[in-house]
Amino acid sequence: MRYVLGRLVSTALTFLAITLFVFVAFFRIPGANAGRQHPPDQYRIHGSLLGQYVHYLWALVRHGDLGYSYATREAVTTRLLQGAPVTLSLVLGGLVVWLLIALPLGILSALRPRRLADRVSTLFVFAGVSIHPVWLGLMLSWTFGRYLHVVPAAGYCSITDLSTGCDGLGHWASHLLLPWLTFGLVNAALFTTMVRALLQEELKADYVRTALGKGAGSLRIVRAHLLRNVMLPLTTMVGLLAGTSVAGVIFVESAFNLPGLGGTLRQATLRQDLPMTAGAVLFLTLAVVALNLAVDLAYAVVDPRVRLMRG
């Protein structure tokens, strides 16, 4: 309980720091610059800096109010809640693709160093780190969408909302298949290297040599011993990479014209719509904070030392 409470307090302090930074960066600094166009009076928050921030924070915590868009007069929270399911679907599906690619490739590369699997893994890592997600998304969209007509090239199809022009689980998955693949391929490259490095280091341990001497196979050692021992650092890496990869949704959603948070942030930035831009940045940043909190809490499940910690 002490461990959980400590993480919750740390998250609350991080939340205050993020909201203060977003408020100052988007609502105080632009208004202090002479030469910039000021927003209409009904969109301004009056008072001292501390009073303005407290008003902004209270409106966010109590009512979920992030203001109104300068361009469309739409409530920022309403627009973000419409785009959040799209981005969440993209990130979760891409994370599954990411793990399905990185884990097997990293394990095979660690068990067979300097062989064919290791060479293929190295080539995949170099390509994944070098390729930009927009280029990869556009190439996949043209190849499988416009040329081969296997899946839709772009757009989004809701599961239940007929306003998008289509609905159903099959249509929804077919529209997100290429975005999932793009998101997973780009982020799986670096994670493959991390899995390989962790397993190669663990393969040098004494208990692995003892298990090999007793006749245990490589796959059994990996499944019964290695993955369990490297689960904690892998959990940390998944949290870190998933947090940093959230910024990549802007490029993936732009390539496939998805109406998610990334597309909302891009359009608001081009329009110089400060409330919508600030709301999207705050929403995505808090999603990363929540993800890191989930990873920290997962330590108590993965690592027995956390559950048995005293003092």
Q: Is 102 exposed, middle or buried (0-12, 13-18, 19+ CB in 10 A)?
A: buried
Q: Are 206 and 237 in contact (CB under 8 A)?
A: no
Q: Dump the DSSP string for 11-45.
A: HHHHHHHHHHHHHIIIIIHHHHSTTSPPPPGGG--
CA distance 152 to 130: 26
In the chain, which residues fall in CATH 1.10.3720.10? 76-307
CATH number of the domain at 76-307, out of 3.40.50.300, 1.20.1050.10, 3.40.50.10330, 1.10.3720.10? Answer: 1.10.3720.10
Predicted local distance difference test score (pLDDT) of residue 219: 74
Predicted local distance difference test score (pLDDT) of residue 311: 47
The residue behind tokens 């981005």 is 87
What's the pLDDT tens digit per position in 176-189?
A: 999 999 998 888 88
Predicted local distance difference test score (pLDDT) of residue 142: 93
Output the six-digit token pair for 30.
Answer: 């632009």
Predicted local distance difference test score (pLDDT) of residue 307: 62
Predicted local distance difference test score (pLDDT) of residue 138: 92
The alpha carbon torsion through 19, 25, 29, 31 (nearest 10 deg) reads -70
Residue 202 CA, chain-centre distance (Å), reads: 28
Output the six-digit token pair for 46.
Answer: 């009056």
Give exposure, 248-275, as e/b (b: 16+ Cβ within 10 Å): bbbbbbbbbebbbbbbbbbbbeeeebbb
- Taking the chain (311 residues) in runs of 10, the rounded mean pLDDT of each run is 83 90 80 50 59 84 84 87 88 88 86 83 86 90 90 83 66 89 87 85 80 76 76 77 76 89 87 88 87 80 65 47
Q: Are 67 and 270 in contact (CB under 8 A)?
A: no
